[in-house]
Amino acid sequence: MSLQCGIVGLPNVGKSTLFNALTSAKAESANYPFCTIDPNVGVVTVPDPRLNQITELIKPKTTIPTAMEFVDIAGLVAGASKGEGLGNQFLANIRETDAILHVVRCFEDDNVIHVSGSVNPQRDIETISTELMLADLESLDKRLQKNKKVARAGNDKKLIAELAVMESIHKALEQGQPARTVEVDENYSYVVKELQLLTTKPVLYVCNVGEDDLEGNNDYVKKVQEIAANENNKVIVVCSALESEISQLEEAEQAEFIEAAGLTEPGLHRLIRESYSLLNLSTYFTAGEKEVRAWTIKKGFTAPQAAGVIHSDFERGFIRAETYHCEDLFSLKTEAAVKDAGKYKSEGKDYLVKDGDIMLFRFNV
């Protein structure tokens, strides 16, 4: 299951530095706007201690973690919705992603240029949010004009209901509210999906701070937290420069560096997990002597849908799923002990897969 988080923000807020640290890629990072023109895509392993624990107990020949994609998108500026600063191209890149990581500069540094001349998280967030909403309004205006003509001509009740959904979103956007704030009847959720609006995407704010502010107590971070709370969004605090240093060290050196910095883990691990949660994802495992592997699914997937992530034949010919939870393995130590304790279950097509389930699929095609 390939899902993407787009890293967005104003120029020079630390997006490419963060992306480089995340992916150990080498996206160009420079102290001037628009140094990243084409979106850079990186596949990132999702850190999950449970995978290591399962491996220790099952002792397979190979272990394969699950992963997700991050896209480094060049900086947006005021007027992007009208094409300023290559805005149309950048907005199109965002449209192709599933969620937005909005990087906000929350540090002072006279050596790093700010495109607006000063550090002001509230203004910066409003700039990006406004451009996304303006782009959505323009897109929605065109769709509404076209559909109104068709609805009037044919008196199509379904189309009229769809128009009502679009008009409610349009009204919210005009009032400065993103499309995701509009409650839509589940029967018409497909309308929102088809519109492909930028402001329907979930958002995680990433406060990029200096090394001395990792606890996130500065006034800039507090302002972002206040904005996020009002929007019902989450915030994570990282130091992109520090994370970049950590990512370039050998594994043994990383542990020493992290401890010396007073951290329990790289901030990027928290960022990846929060991104995973932002996309409403969960993990199940397959485990055997040959391979222990983590698989990504959407929360609420049934057993056949989860099986289909491995191969479409598994879903098409699904018979049953044999499953137990990883926590039972951790406490009982072996699969045999799990079975003896009655924790090993046989589940049918309606079973909703839980995060942390270990599964074996039976199928026939």
Does 162 score more than 90 pLDDT? no
38, 43, 4, 8: which is closest to 22 by C-alpha?
Answer: 43
Tokens read off for 194: 């088809």
For residues 292-316, give the mean pLDDT.
97
Does 296 score more than 90 pLDDT? yes
CA distance 168 to 164: 6
pLDDT at 133: 93
Does 153 score more than 90 pLDDT? no
Contact 243/263 with Cβ under 8 angstroms? no
pLDDT at 280: 95
DSSP sequence for 84-138: GGGHHHHHHHHHTSSEEEEEEE----TTS--TTSS--HHHHHHHHHHHHHHHHHH
Q: Among 22-36, 131-145, 209-223, 244-258, where is mean pLDDT lowest? A: 22-36
CA distance 204 to 73: 15
Does 236 score more than 80 pLDDT? yes
pLDDT at 146: 80
Does 200 score more than 80 pLDDT? yes
This prediction has a pTM of: 0.87
Instruction: Return the axis-axis angle of helices 240-247 and 267-278, rounded to nearest 10°.
Output: 110
pLDDT at 84: 53
Contact 345/323 with Cβ under 8 angstroms? yes
Tokens read off for 189: 């959720």
For residues 17-22, give the mean pLDDT.
91
Measured between alpha carbons, how far apart are the two ends of the chain, in Å?
22
DSSP sequence for 143-165: HHHHHHHHHHHH--HHHHHHHHH
CA distance 338 to 347: 16
Higher-pLDDT residue of 236 and 114 is 236
Mean pLDDT of the chain: 89
Q: How far is CA 128 from CA 7, 134, 169, 329, in A?
A: 12, 10, 19, 46
- Sheet strand arrangement including 291-298: 62-64, 291-298, 281-287, 357-363, 318-325, 345-347
Does 101 score more than 90 pLDDT? yes
Does 85 score more than 70 pLDDT? no
Most confidently predicted of 79-88, 210-219, 332-341: 332-341
Quote the Cα angle for 317-322-324, to 5°.
145
Contact 10/128 with Cβ under 8 angstroms? yes
pLDDT at 159: 83
pLDDT at 261: 82
